[in-house]
Amino acid sequence: MAALYEGYTLCGLVPGQTLTNSGIQGIEAERDSDHVVVTDSTRSVTLYKVSDQKPLSSWTVKQGQTLTCPAVYNSQTEEYVVVSDNKVIRIWKDEDILLDKAFKATVSSDVWRVHCLPGGEPVVLFQRGAVRLLDSLLSAPQQPIEEVLAQEEAIRWSTNIVADSQQFVIFTTEQKGDSFLYLHRLNPNTLQRYRLEREEPGLSPLSFSASYRDKHICLLYLYPNGHVYQSVVSVRGLGGDEGAQALPLPRSLLLGLPVGEGLLEAASAQLLDEAHVAVVGVPHPSAGAGKDFLCIWNTNFQTLQAGKEMAGKIYGQLWTFSNKLFIPHGKTLSVIPYECPKSSLASALGKLNNGFINISVNVIIYGFFSLLTQRTNRKTQSAPSLTVDQVLDFTKTAPVEEVQREVEGLLSRADIQDLQPLVGQLASMLVSRSLADPAFYTPSTLAQLVHTQSLCHSVCPDLVLLALERRDFFLCQLCLQFFPDIPEAVTCACLKAFISMPDTEAEKLSLEPDSVSFMETLIARERAPVGLQNGFSSTSTDQDCSDALGGGGRVVIKTGEEDKEKSSTPPEPICPVGLHKAVLLNEVLLTAYSDTFLLPHLKDLSSQHVVLFLQYLQFLYLKYSQDASPQMHGLRSPSLTQIMDWVCMVLDAHFTVLVMTPEAKGLLVNLHSFVKSQVRLVSELGKIEGSLQELNKMKVKKDVGQYSIEIIELF
């Protein structure tokens, strides 16, 4: 969930400008993430330290001269580059005080922009579309500059991008209502021209934003009607045919933003990462028609993630450097830190157990929000949370018992809802201390924190691994139970630890009683005389499965021969693992996962463990098939589908190994019979479906009026 934090003012804007102009020509990154160079629209360049909100130095050109391009910082040479009066390139260093005394070179054609990326060379883009590296230009300033653009074509926006050590200059132009995209690669120079698809007539893009990822350049552009399009250009395919033809540029609609009344006038959209876009100058969907909002949208889910009202006029300008948004609005230039964490909804794509999804996502979102408010609150009013801070400090140093006591006290004192951000802080603090100090471990406190259900894996990612390391399987179980977002790798690590644990050790554990009682009833339950669920009946299936059925557990192969004889009465399946181990394995079965992510990790299991795990799954399946309703409500019990999914995944992950393992043969034959029964069931259900649909249609009773003429057919 992306978030906008409390912003602060970097500088005031120069008053007295025309209303449509903010007075800022451009903002460029300086040496590090905390410094920016701000070029105003007339004469001065100012270097700011952002966190201190104060100017470090400033340079001005003479009266009568104007800066026509934002100053850039060349980090390689530690020099600033700016262009004045379109043709004069000026280069200076930090220690230079007067700009007039700095290096100057006059070029033969009008310059549009100078671009420079950290680590890259400065590039000069001329107004007529030609591109030169600054160095080569300065070696012969008066060299002739060719015209790339057509007569009435003018550059609207430009940027440069470094992709795989290749430098690109990207600029867009406009000609008689058509928009074009130019992709200029340097060394070797190639140029590709694309034509943007036309939006409604008379509309041209308000703002552009480009980024590079996965060998593709991604261009994002916003139209006045609120449509945000994305076009993706492959870097590799470039240079085939030299920009003679304007290729059509395919686009996809990312967002349809609400525009309120009329079209957008001053608005801008900036890509923040692959899933988030910051938009300024567009109305907030739930706050009326006012356009002075800064919003972060998630393009994957088309959801508004964060919004903030900006006081004063919005000029449609927006820059972003290192998790900070720079917005001129009203009479100030504001800096707004933001955060776009990897979307937790990713877990939603995976398989989640029985409708847990809603709750868990809410928890994450809520947790994040409250964390946010807490943090901002503390900044403004730190007095009420003093005791909490004390406890936090206390946990860093105090011995185990006292920490336990204090945390317990704290938890019992306040409302859990208020504690949500605190629980996260406490847990991560305890975990990091435990990791650092092998002697320090507070199992009961951690368990208590997990029990509050305010924690999730992303808040303290090391907790589960720590529990595994300390062999605190009870905590593991709790984490598996309460964390909605455990990554598949961790799930697999848990599975591995559980399955390799000796039964004797497992029996000593004290586990969550609900899950234990479920397993106890499952193992102890008398077999129903004729059980048949989901079409699978252990007695009625073909004889070929009877041998494996007989074994049930690890004894399959030894007893296989004998069982074949008494195949008419297959004995009770025996649980291949101990009670507590089974409980822990159930917990793994119940976790949410996405099979694509889980599959590679499953391959880490040894073949011996795989067979054991499969045997256990088979045992569960048989039990479920025999008993009419083993899934007791409210108990932690895996569903039949979950069991089947796991069987399939484990088989997928280890198929070749299992085929080669002689011990697994019986098991595989057995599982095959499950599949057969499932297939049969599904086909039967398919047959029923048709009839049921007919039934539905019949139910529709049409209203007969007072008089009607109908046709009936008698046979």
Partner 1 sequence: MGEFKVHRVRFFDYMPSAIRAMAFNSHTERLALVRADGALEIFNFADHYFQEKVIPGQDGRAVEALCWVGQRLFSAGLNGEITEYDLENLRPRYTVEAYGGPIWTIGSNKQGTLLMVGCEDGTVKMFEILKERIQFQRNLERQKGRIVSLSWHPSGTLIAAGMMDMIRIFNAETGKEMQHDPESREVVVWSVAFLSDYTIISGDSAGKVQIWDGLTGTLVRTHLVTKWDVLCLSVSQDESSLIAGTSEGTVVQFQFISSTVDQQEEEWVRTRTFKNHSHDVRALAHTETAVVSGGMDTQLVVRPLLDKVEKNTQESAMRKIALPHRSLVCCAKKAGLLLFQFPDHLEVWRVGESDGHGEENTHTHTHTHTHTHYAYSALSPCGEWLAYSTVSSVRLYRLQYNNISITKVGCSTLTLLPLFSVSVIVHTALFINTIKCMSELALFFSSSYFQLDKLSIVAIETTVTIYGSVCLQLHCTVPIYSSCPTAIAIHPTTSHLVVVHADQQIFEYSLVQKEYTEWSRKLQKQGLHSLWLERDTPVTHVTFSLKNPAHIILHDMFMFCIIDQSLPLPESKTLLYNQMTLRSLPEQERIRHSHAFKICKNFKHVMCVSLLEDHSLVVVERPLLDMMSQLPAPVRQKKFAT
State whether residue 399 is helix, strand or coil: coil
Least spacing, CB of residue 685 vs partner 1, in Å? 22
Site string for partner 1, 49-88 (x = CB under 8 A): ----------------------------------------
According to the binding rule CB under 8 A, does residue 629 interact with partner 1? no
| Residue in 436, 524, 688, 709 binding partner 1, rule: CB under 8 A | 709
- Within residues 596-615, the interface with partner 1 by CB under 8 A covers none
Instruction: State which residue, 202 or 705, has the beta carbon closest to partner 1.
Output: 705
Instruction: State which residue, 386 or 712, has the beta carbon closest to partner 1.
Output: 712
Instruction: State which residue, 569 or 691, has the beta carbon closest to partner 1.
Output: 691
Instruction: State which residue, 244 or 711, has the beta carbon closest to partner 1.
Output: 711
Tell me the one-letter amino acid at 484: P
Least spacing, CB of residue 688 vs partner 1, in Å? 17
Instruction: State which residue, 253 or 698, has the beta carbon closest to partner 1.
Output: 698
Instruction: State which residue, 355 or 705, has the beta carbon closest to partner 1.
Output: 705
According to the binding rule CB under 8 A, does residue 715 interact with partner 1? yes
According to the binding rule CB under 8 A, does residue 383 interact with partner 1? no
Least spacing, CB of residue 578 vs partner 1, in Å? 50
State the helix-helix crossing angle for 473-482 and 443-451, rounded to 10 degrees: 10
Return the ∠ at Cα 699 (arms to 696 and 702), rounded to 5°: 130
Q: N- to C-terminal Cα distance for the chain?
A: 66
Instruction: State which residue, 656 or 691, has the beta carbon closest to partner 1.
Output: 691
How many residues in the shown chain lie near partner 1 by CB under 8 A?
A: 12
Least spacing, CB of residue 694 vs partner 1, in Å? 11
State whether residue 390 is helix, strand or coil: helix
Instruction: State which residue, 63 or 707, has the beta carbon closest to partner 1.
Output: 707
Burial 626-664 (b: 16+ CB within 10 A, else e): bbeebeeeebbbbebebbbbbbeebbebbeeebeebeeb
Instruction: State which residue, 415 or 710, has the beta carbon closest to partner 1.
Output: 710
Least spacing, CB of residue 449 vs partner 1, in Å? 44
- Within residues 334-373, the interface with partner 1 by CB under 8 A covers none
State the helix-helix crossing angle for 443-451 and 400-413, rounded to 10 degrees: 20
According to the binding rule CB under 8 A, does residue 712 interact with partner 1? yes
Phi, psi angle pair for 36, to nearest 5°: -135, 155
The count of C-alpha atoms lying within 13 angstroms of the C-alpha of 418, restricted to the half-sphere facing its C-beta, is: 10
Least spacing, CB of residue 713 vs partner 1, in Å? 5
With contact defined as beta carbons under 8 Å apart, do 583 and 511 qualify? yes
Instruction: State which residue, 19 or 709, has the beta carbon closest to partner 1.
Output: 709
Least spacing, CB of residue 684 vs partner 1, in Å? 20
According to the binding rule CB under 8 A, does residue 714 interact with partner 1? yes
Least spacing, CB of residue 704 vs partner 1, in Å? 6
Site string for partner 1, 490-529 (x = CB under 8 A): ----------------------------------------
Least spacing, CB of residue 683 vs partner 1, in Å? 22
398: how many CB neighbours lie within 10 A of its CB? Answer: 15
In whole angstroms, give the CA distance from residue 206 to residue 276.
18
- Within residues 209-268, the interface with partner 1 by CB under 8 A covers none
Least spacing, CB of residue 710 vs partner 1, in Å? 5
Three-class DSSP labels, 405-445: HHHHHHHHHCCHHHHHHHHHHHHHHHHHHHHHCCCCCCHHH
Q: Is 115 exposed, middle or buried (0-12, 13-18, 19+ CB in 10 A)?
A: buried
With contact defined as beta carbons under 8 Å apart, do 171 and 164 qualify? no
Tell me the one-letter amino acid at 184: H
Antiparallel, parallel or unpaired: β 293-298 and 303-309: antiparallel
Q: Is 417 exposed, middle or buried (0-12, 13-18, 19+ CB in 10 A)?
A: exposed
Query: Phi-psi bin for 622: left (phi > 0), alpha (psi -120 to 50), beta?
Result: alpha
With contact defined as beta carbons under 8 Å apart, do 494 and 588 qualify? yes
Instruction: State which residue, 526 or 710, has the beta carbon closest to partner 1.
Output: 710
In whole angstroms, give the CA distance from residue 647 to residue 410.
44
For the chain, the maximum distance between any two Cα atoms, rounded to a whole number of angstroms, is: 108
| Residue in 152, 241, 437, 710 binding partner 1, rule: CB under 8 A | 710
Least spacing, CB of residue 535 vs partner 1, in Å? 27
Helices (H), 593-638: 595-602, 607-626
Instruction: State which residue, 152 or 710, has the beta carbon closest to partner 1.
Output: 710
| Residue in 95, 261, 526, 713 binding partner 1, rule: CB under 8 A | 713
Least spacing, CB of residue 712 vs partner 1, in Å? 5
Site string for partner 1, 669-708 (x = CB under 8 A): -----------------------------------xxxxx
Least spacing, CB of residue 690 vs partner 1, in Å? 13
In whole angstroms, give the CA distance from residue 432 to residue 138.
55
Least spacing, CB of residue 375 vs partner 1, in Å? 50
Instruction: State which residue, 524 or 711, has the beta carbon closest to partner 1.
Output: 711
Phi, psi angle pair for 68, to nearest 5°: -110, 0
Instruction: State which residue, 436 or 695, has the beta carbon closest to partner 1.
Output: 695
Binding residues vs partner 1 (CB under 8 A): 704-715
